[in-house]
């Protein structure tokens, strides 16, 4: 399972990470988010030690979703050195997400 990222731990897990970070902004009621969820969980396992992979439930944690302009979900942001370096809005195949992480490593 991907890490649960919240407004409280976002700074520590994402912005201060020395590794690239994939953050999936999602909600339980969102059908397309449920399609992306298992892909993100797989990526979490495959990239262990190389990248941080986590999910932000936008219903419970709105601060950083608002800060980064997440208006549609699922939205996946790739962070490197605390900055957004790539973005994917909507459902995409797994290789799209892994390609974005690979580019940031």
Residues 20-78 have pLDDT tens digits of 999 999 999 999 999 999 999 999 999 999 999 999 999 999 999 999 999 999 999 99
Q: Helix H segments across the chain?
A: 10, 31-46, 63-67, 94-104
List the chain domain ranges: 3-104
pTM of the entire structure? 0.97
Span 3-104 CATH architecture: 3-Layer(aba) Sandwich (3.40)
- CA distance linking residue 38 with residue 26, whole number of Å: 12
Positions annotated as catalytic residues are 30, 33
Which tens digit of pLDDT belongs to each residue from 72-94? Answer: 999 999 999 999 999 999 999 99
């Amino acid at each position: 399972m991907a890490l649960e990222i919240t407004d409280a731990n976002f700074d520590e897990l994402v912005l201060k990470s020395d590794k690239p970070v994939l953050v999936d902004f999602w909600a339980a009621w969102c059908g397309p988010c449920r399609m992306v969820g298992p892909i993100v969980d797989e990526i979490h396992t495959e990239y262990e030690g190389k990248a941080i992979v986590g999910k932000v439930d936008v219903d419970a944690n709105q601060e950083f979703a608002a800060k980064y302009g997440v208006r549609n979900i699922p939205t996946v942001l790739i962070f490197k050195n605390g900055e957004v370096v790539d973005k994917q809005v909507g459902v995409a195949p797994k290789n799209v997400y892994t390609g974005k992480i690979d580019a940031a490593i």
